[in-house]
């Protein structure tokens, strides 16, 4: 355990909670999707902080691989959410 591991881990927790609040707050779909992305970034930061072993040692590669796949999945989920939103909006415009 080191000060920087704690510091970055707690930042991850803070980002997650800020994002979670934003995701449930009423507003445009885009804002909420953006907030979910920030919450996701918080989770990634927490995982990488857990993997961190200080500046002199090699970090744990397993959480790194998880975050790498997480980033790509987050992008595709974002794209799907925005496409669904656009579809619903064009539907309601037509009516």
Separation of CA 52 from chain center: 19
Is 36 among the residues that bind another protein (CB under 8 A)? no
Neighbours of 60 (CB within 10 A): 14
Residue closer to another protein (CB basis): 90 or 95 = 90
CB of 30 to another protein, least distance (A): 5
CB of 16 to another protein, least distance (A): 7
- Residues in contact with another protein, counted by CB under 8 A, come to a total of 73
Residue closer to another protein (CB basis): 69 or 95 = 69
Q: What token pair was written down for 68? A: 């790498």
Residues between 59 and 78 that touch another protein (CB under 8 A): 59-62, 64-69, 71-78
Distance CA 13, CA 37 (A): 14
Q: What token pair was written down for 79? A: 């794209």
């Amino acid at each position: 355990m080191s000060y920087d591991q704690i510091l970055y881990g707690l930042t991850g927790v803070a980002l997650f909670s800020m994002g979670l609040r934003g995701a449930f707050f009423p507003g445009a779909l885009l804002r909420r999707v953006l907030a979910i992305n920030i919450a996701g970034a918080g989770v990634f930061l927490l995982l990488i902080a857990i993997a961190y072993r200080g500046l002199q040692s090699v970090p744990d590669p397993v959480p790194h691989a998880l975050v790498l796949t997480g980033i790509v999945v987050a992008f595709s989920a974002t794209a799907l959410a925005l496409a669904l939103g656009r579809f619903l909006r064009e539907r309601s415009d037509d009516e």
